[in-house]
Each structure stands twice: as structure tokens, then as C-alpha cells.
Amino acid sequence: MEGVELRKALEEARPLVGARLSKVHQIGDVFLLRFYRPSGALALDSGGKAFHLTALRPVAPNVPPPFCGRLRTLAGQPLVALDQAGLDRVLRLRFLEADLVLDLRPRQGDLFFLPHGGTATSFRGGELRPVDFTVADDPSRGLGPHLRRAAAALLGPAPSPEELATFTADILARAPAGYLYETPNGAVASAFARPDLGAPRATFPSFWQALDPLLERRLGAETARDQITQVERALGRRERALAALTAAETGAGNWPELQGRADLILTRIADIPRGAAEVVVEGFDGQPVTLSLNPALAPAAQAGGLYAKARKLRRRLEHNTARRRKLEAEIRKLSELRELLSRQPDLAPYIQGETETLAPARTTTKPSPRPQPREIVVEGFAICIGRSGQENDRLVRVARPTDVWLHARGSPGAHVVIRTDGRAVPRPVLERAAELAAWHSRARGERKVPVSYTEARYVRKPKGVPPGMVKLLREEVIVVAGDKNP
């Protein structure tokens, strides 16, 4: 995020000045600050070098990291001011007892906690370079390489300083808007139209709404990386088990030969002298066959031993066949999960149950408590959205019989529940809930997404299935667009 973009994001966040800090969560190098009176949330993304309002509610760690714990000491304090150092990439959040400074100038952005009269600390352990929050706006600082390319595409290859200043002033004077582009280097959010990036994939009434999908991808990517590591370890274990099974099957495949030798011994037992180590007898095909024997055992006892060994190898082979089918099915499923996580990392929270079932993480830490699902209100109806397989299960478990359950048909994704309180659900509310189910699924972005819906009384959770999987006794389908951002 460059200086001009940071200014546009700051303008959208100004309504939170005066709100009181409620909670602080840290997920990787992203800090989420939640406020009340008025309610809202800010994302301070030092790694992705971004700052903006956010509607995301990702699952946060149970135990906050140390630096996050320091920020939580500001809980209950009002946000006094939001300042930017001119058009530089430095932002200050002022509270009664401390300041937070988000510095996006270094190669890796940093967040500083500056208590009034205390010792300053930073997220990455760096030092805050000199910064002046009273300096006047300077277009040369507000335009980085990306925005300069946008200016060159509009004004020509070498715009003058005066043209750049006019270009900057025009951007800052525009009404809030958001544009999301897909480029060869990844998705790009912009506060204004960028013809140099082609046609936008989606447009939004606010800049932060275009930034939220990028943040969601980043947060999902971190979860997906962990899950991919788990999946690859599980794949390795199953592939080694399959190789060992193949080797065992090679040895077990000769059980008919052992049984045939036992049959021949009993058939020719009269021709086999006791105590012989080797004997030549007529085979079942009339040809001579040489039998190697144990001189210490009677021929009948040797035949019995061969029968027992043949039965054991045959049972092992039958068991191995079933085991092979199970391993091959799990390898296929794990390979599909790895491909899906690589292609759509933002789905990681929704398929976490499948991942943990096939590839459980090795950890000794206590599991995090289940966070509350995301909830929004449409026309007086609360709509709850699960953010993981466990949350999906919890939504089904606590739903009342007449609540309406929705899920993108045939796609991994969030369970959505409309709290009806016994009321009939208006069509616009049902359509909005279906759009949310489509957006929070693998079908996101598609023009038409079929969404299953039914009353919660007809949703069943079979025993033993992975988190998030259910069975429907009745089902209706509504088709909505999959590109409606919540």
C-alpha cells in the first residue's frame, strides 16, 4: 500500500475516531483491532503492508503472542486520533495512554507500541525511524512505483512533477470506491480505476471492501501452508505404508504353491520315507517333483505346517487387499486436498476438518476454544456464518428446528444459518444468506451457484464423519451469484 492509498484507507477509517478499543487479535503478522460505540474493526497488516477497515472475523489463537498482549492493555480506551505523516507510509493511532505507529516504509513493515512515559517496543524488534506527523502532503512521497505506472499509463511515459501532483490531488478528491484486479502477479486492490491493469474482476462502494478479499487470502494462505505441510506428511506416511504392503503381497502371493506342496505330500505320503531330507515323487501332472523335507518331522506334520502357513499368507493377502484399497483412497483424497489448498488457500478454514481427519497435526498444546461464528443482520434476521469445520458443526448443533440452514451445493464451504425465531423468512433475506453461502465456498466468483437450503430439523450429523459434513433429509435449491462480497 502506497502513501496515497494509505490516505484513502485512513479517510474510510476516520468514523472510528472516538470509538473504544474492545479486542485485539494477532494472526501471524496481522493485527485486528475491534472497537465499540461505534462498532467496527481495523486491520493493521505489517507483513502485507496494508491498513484498512475490515469485516473479517478469522479464527484467532487462544493465547495471544506477547506483543499482542501489550496492545490489549489499551482495551477500553478511546481512539483519540488517526494521523498520517504527510503522504508517507506511516500511520499513527493515538490512544489515551499510548500510540501505535504502523510503519510500512521498511522492506518488512513494523508496528510500534509507544506508551506515554514508558519504553517503546516493536513487533519485529526494530527501531522507529524519524517521522514528522505535521509535515505537509508531498505527492512525491505518496506515489510509489505502482501508482507511478498508473500515472504513466494515463499521462504518458514521463509525467512532469506538476502532472503527478494533479494526478495525486484527483485521486484524493474522489469519492470512496474499490476495485479488485487479477494480474499475473496476483490480485491487486485499488481505490480508483486502473485501466493499466485491465478490467476489474469486481467493484465495491468502498476501498476497504476491495482490500478485505486480499487480507482473507493472506490469512487463508498461512492456514493453508500449515495444512499442506500436514497433508504432505500424511501422504508420505501412506505412500511408505503402501510400498511396504506391496512388498508383503509379493511374499504372500505364493500361498497356492505352499498348499500344493502340502497336497502332494499327503497324496504321496506312502512314497516318502521317514527322516528323508529330499525325495522325488510323481507330481499331479505326471512329471517328477523334488520335495525338500525336514528330516526331524513326519511327512504328515510337514504337510500340516505348510497348510497353516498357506492359510496365514492367504488371510494376509485378503487383509492387504482391503488395506491397499483404503490407502489408495486416502492417498487420492490427500492429493486432492493438497491441490485444493494450493489453488484456493482461502478455503483452508472450511476444509480443516477433512485435513485433520486424514492428517492430524502433532501437537501437545491445548486446543483453542471454539470462537463465535460470524453474524450479520439482514432485515431483522440474524445470519450466522461458520468459519471452520468445527464452527459448521456447532451451528448445526445449536440451531433451532425452524432455523434455515444453507450451504453451497457440492462445494466445500461455510454452513450458514438464518435465526428465524419461528418467523417466515422473506425472499430477500433468503437470497442474501444464499449469496453469503456461495461467497464463503469453493464456488466463490462463479456467475451461478446452486445453494441447498432446508430447515435445521432436516439436517443430520452422521457419526464418524469429518467436521462440517452433514446429511439432509429434505432439500431445496436456490441459484445465486457467487461474486457478492459480504
pLDDT in tens, 420-465: 988 999 999 999 999 999 988 888 878 899 999 999 999 998 887 7
Question: pLDDT value at position 298?
Answer: 87
Across residues 57-85, what is the average pLDDT? 89
Q: Which residue blocks in 156-254 are alpha helix, DSSP H?
A: 161-173, 207-252
Cell of 266: 499327503
**Strand order through the sheet with 121-122:** 81-84, 90-94, 98-103, 110-115, 121-122
Confidence of residue 361 (pLDDT cuts 50, 70, 90): low
Question: pLDDT value at position 365?
Answer: 45
Is residue 416 exposed (0-12), middle (13-18) or buried (19+ Cβ within 10 Å)?
buried
Cβ-Cβ contacts under 8 Å for 418 (sequence gap 6 or more): 381, 382, 383, 403, 404, 406, 425, 429, 430, 433
Cell of 281: 515323487
- Pairing type for strands 178-183 and 202-204 reads antiparallel
The alpha carbon of residue 264 and the mean position of all alpha carbons in its chain are separated, in whole angstroms, by 63
More confident position, 298 or 226: 298
Nearest to 6 by CA among 49, 35, 42: 49
Residue 80 has pLDDT above 90, yes or no: yes
d(CA 404, CA 301): 71
Nearest to 172 by CA among 14, 5, 49, 42: 5
Contact 415, 468 (CB under 8 A): yes
| Cα atoms found within 13 Å of the Cα of residue 107, Cβ hemisphere only | 0
Cell of 42: 481495523
Across residues 246-262, what is the average pLDDT? 78
Confidence of residue 411 (pLDDT cuts 50, 70, 90): confident
The three state secondary structure string of 372-423 is: CCEEEEECCEEEEECCCHHHHHHHHHHCCCCCEEEEECCCCECCEEEECCCC
Question: pLDDT value at position 456?
Answer: 93
**Averaged confidence pLDDT in the chain:** 86
Confidence of residue 56 (pLDDT cuts 50, 70, 90): confident
Query: Crossing angle, helix 299-343 and helix 255-267, to 10 degrees?
Result: 170
Confidence of residue 362 (pLDDT cuts 50, 70, 90): low
Cβ-Cβ contacts under 8 Å for 362 (sequence gap 6 or more): none
Question: pLDDT value at position 373?
Answer: 61
Confidence of residue 352 (pLDDT cuts 50, 70, 90): low
Question: pLDDT value at position 359?
Answer: 63
Q: Kindly state the helix (H) or strand (E) to which residue 12 belongs, with its residue range.
A: helix 3-13
Cβ-Cβ contacts under 8 Å for 82 (sequence gap 6 or more): 10, 13, 14, 16, 17, 91, 92, 93, 94
Contact 265, 291 (CB under 8 A): yes
Question: pLDDT value at position 354?
Answer: 66
DSSP 426: P
More confident position, 353 or 13: 13
Rg (CA), the chain: 33
> Would you report the helix, strand and coil content of the chain in percent, each value rounded to 5?
40, 25, 35
Cβ-Cβ contacts under 8 Å for 22 (sequence gap 6 or more): 34, 35, 36, 75
Question: pLDDT value at position 415?
Answer: 93
Cell of 18: 472516538
Contact 403, 455 (CB under 8 A): yes
Confidence of residue 368 (pLDDT cuts 50, 70, 90): very low
Contact 417, 425 (CB under 8 A): no
- Pairing type for strands 110-115 and 50-53 reads unpaired
Confidence of residue 103 (pLDDT cuts 50, 70, 90): very high
